[in-house]
Amino acid sequence: MSKCAAIQMASSPSVKANLLEADKLIAEAAKAGAKLVALPENFAIMGVDEFDKNKQKEVDGTGPIQDFLSATAKKYEVWIVAGTIPLVADDNNKVRASCLVYNDAGERVARYDKIHLFDVSVPSTGEQYHESNSIEAGKTPLVIDTPFGKLGVAVCYDLRFPELFRDMADAGMEILVIPSAFTAETGAAHWEVLLRARAIENLCYVIAPNQGGFHLNGRKTFGHSMIIDPWGIVLDCYKTGGGFVSANIDRERLEKVRTSFPVLQHRRFFCK
Catalytic residues: 41, 114, 156
Q: Which of 83, 95, 13 has its CA nearest to residue 54?
A: 95
How would you write 58-81 as a 3-class SS string? Answer: ECCCCCHHHHHHHHHHHHHCCEEE
Q: How far is CA 149 from the centre of its chain?
A: 17
The conformation of residue 40, written as its DSSP 8-state character, comes to P
The conformation of residue 118, written as its DSSP 8-state character, comes to -
State which amino acid sits at residue 32. A
Beta strands (DSSP E) in 223-271 are 225-228, 234-238, 243-249
Q: Which of 249, 157, 168 has its CA nearest to residue 201?
A: 168
State which amino acid sits at residue 176. L
Q: Which of 212, 216, 219 has its CA nearest to residue 245?
A: 212
